[in-house]
């Protein structure tokens, strides 16, 4: 689950928070929040600090969620078949 989906499901839907309200609370442009919510923008350190202050959890939590999702995406899309492992011998 990407961070925006988590934010929608855990915070916005249950507490009836609009993207505009979240953007105002985060003190960012609504477009930035909309991109985050649909997965078109990633959580970078500055946004992680903002999310931590506004929604709770640590900034490390928000960065970790983004990192895990980004790594999962890479694992789904990177073609490993043409890679050649380097064997190190002493």
pLDDT digits (tens, 9 = 90+) for 12-27: 999 999 999 999 999 9
For the chain, give the longest Cα–Cα distance.
Answer: 61
Q: Nearest CA to 70 among 44, 49, 46, 50?
A: 44
Mean pLDDT of the chain: 96
- The radius of gyration of the chain's CA atoms, rounded to the nearest angstrom, is 17
What's the pLDDT score for residue 90? 82
The H or E element that residue 23 is part of is helix 19-26
pLDDT digits (tens, 9 = 90+) for 50-62: 999 999 999 999 9
pLDDT digits (tens, 9 = 90+) for 54-87: 999 999 999 999 999 999 999 999 999 999 999 9
What's the pLDDT score for residue 40? 94
CATH number of 3-77: 1.10.260.40
């Amino acid at each position: 689950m990407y961070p925006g989906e988590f934010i929608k499901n855990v915070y916005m839907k249950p507490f009836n928070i609009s993207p505009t309200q979240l953007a105002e609370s985060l003190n960012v442009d609504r477009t930035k929040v909309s991109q985050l919510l649909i997965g078109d923008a990633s959580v970078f350190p500055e946004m992680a600090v903002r999310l931590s202050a506004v929604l709770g959890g640590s900034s490390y939590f928000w960065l970790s969620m983004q990192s895990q999702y980004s790594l999962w995406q890479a694992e789904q899309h990177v073609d490993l078949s043409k890679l050649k492992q380097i064997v190190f011998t002493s």
